[in-house]
Amino acid sequence: MKKVIAGVVFLFLTGTAAAESVGEGLTLKECYGLALQQSESIAIQKEYIKETEGQMLQALSTALPHIAFAYSEKWQDQPGNRSLGGSTPEGKFTFTQPLFTGFKEFAAVGASKHVGRQRVQELKRAQELLLTDVADAFYFYLSYQQDLQVLEDTQNILFERVGELKKRQIIGKSRLSEVASAEAKLRRNEAAIEVSKAQKEVAGQLVEFLIGRSFDRLVEEDLLSEDFQLQSLYLKADGRADVVAARESFAAYKNNITSARSGFLPTVTLSGNSYTKRADAYEDNGWDATLAVNVPLFNGLNDVGQVAQARSQANAADFRLSQTKRKALLQIRNAYTQWSSAQLKLKAFDRAALASEKNYQLQAEDFQKSLVSNLDVLQALEDLQSARRDVVAAKSNAARCYWLVKVATGGIK
């Protein structure tokens, strides 16, 4: 029995660490890197950026000259001539350059630049949020892995205890009911092991889905020791990617107002032709140019409606910016609260585990002296197992809350 008492401390304190030291596994950073490569959502965000680059080029093209070559040949009837009509060939290079369009092109290019920066920030935020999913799956798997180790350690102890009680029962030092009670605990622990195995398998499948490959084992690294301060965390809200994206969106919509107002302004266009071939009364003229000025007078209130629409969209974007920032502050506060609570719970469960461990040792020693019953020892063992499982769960939760704070502030690297 003394072998059991001495072994329980070693098993509970070193069993999990020993299990994690076998083989080579993936760290959270490695899992996150694989998930970034695998995620279809991230790939879609990258395509949005490329789409925006194309839109910016289209907007820029409206301010650049348009050059083309055109060739035509016209046949027409010639009165008094019964043969086929004469032909009039014409070949020319055409040139068109907008000189002034009410700043519409510049506003469109500016809006496209803001939208492009918005897409980049949206991609960054999507990458940050992906870390939350990866960290949750990673630490859930580790939690079930370590929980399973605690249960298996308990199983070994219960198995030894049943064997010890059977020996004591033969010599009359223990009752048959004590053996039956220990065996019942053993069977219930076996069921708990199967439940934990299933949970570990499900969590492992989620990790594989996120990283796009199978893995043998996950390895937990020590987190940086940081004492988060709520007021300092609040200051990071303005720089969070989704807040920056909302700010860029607002700026883009303000450019759209300038673009809509251009409908009230005149347009000036210079166009010209350089002829390579001409067969008409102007065949000796090698080129011509035209300066066209168009002053809008009335357009059926279409331009008024476009300006009103652009202003409304800009106002809505401003409200979304305010809402996004307030949500960011709320998420930071929630993450900080969860992290603070997780730290306190982990410390409390650590103290409870130490107390339960000491209680089990004392109960086991008293049982050897026939001062307590086997039920007292089994209850102490169950309390110790429960305390150790609580520590495992609390440690996993504390790690997830750490990354929750990092993601909430946009502070991942």
**What pLDDT does residue 25 have?**
84
Helices 302-368 and 241-261 meet at what angle, rounded to 10?
A: 170
Contacts of 49-57 with C-beta under 8 Å, sequence gap 24+, read 49/116, 49/119, 49/120, 49/123, 52/112, 52/115, 52/116, 52/119, 53/116, 55/112, 55/115, 56/109, 56/112, 56/113, 56/115, 56/116
**What pLDDT does residue 8 have?**
42
pLDDT of 59-79, one tens digit each? 777 778 888 988 888 777 666
Residue 81, in any domain of the structure? no
**What pLDDT does residue 4 have?**
41
Residue 219, in any domain of the structure? yes
Mean pLDDT over all residues of the chain? 85
C-alpha span between 387 and 147 (Å, rounded): 11
Nearest Cα residue to 256 out of 59, 33, 408:
59
CB 185, CB 158: distance < 8 Å: yes
Residue 82, in any domain of the structure? no
Residue 353, in any domain of the structure? yes
Handedness of CA 123, 325, 341, 385 (dihedral sign): negative
**What pLDDT does residue 278 have?**
78
**What pLDDT does residue 194 have?**
95
**What pLDDT does residue 3 have?**
43
Nearest Cα residue to 212 out of 44, 38, 40:
38
**What pLDDT does residue 226 have?**
81
End-to-end CA distance of the chain: 52
pTM, to two decimals: 0.78
Residues of the chain with pLDDT under 50: 1-23
Q: Which structural domain range is residue 37 located in?
A: 2-75+87-409
Query: What type of residue sits at position 25?
Result: G
> Going by C-beta distance under 8 Å and a sequence separation of 6 or more, which residues neighbour residue 88?
73, 74, 75, 76, 279, 280
**What pLDDT does residue 10 have?**
40
Residue 328, in any domain of the structure? yes
Residue 112, in any domain of the structure? yes
**What pLDDT does residue 5 have?**
42
Q: Scanning the structure block, which residue is given the tokens 């059926």? A: 300
| CATH code of the domain covering residue 157 | 1.20.1600.10
Q: How far is CA 136 from CA 204, 224, 233, in A?
A: 11, 18, 22
Residue 232, in any domain of the structure? yes
- What would the two tokens of residue 410 be? 């946009």
Handedness of CA 204, 210, 214, 219 (dihedral sign): negative
Residue 80, in any domain of the structure? no
C-alpha span between 114 and 55 (Å, rounded): 12
**What pLDDT does residue 336 have?**
96
**What pLDDT does residue 12 have?**
43
| Total domains in the fold of the chain | 1
**What pLDDT does residue 92 have?**
84
**What pLDDT does residue 107 have?**
83
C-alpha span between 186 and 155 (Å, rounded): 6
The residue length of the chain stands at 413
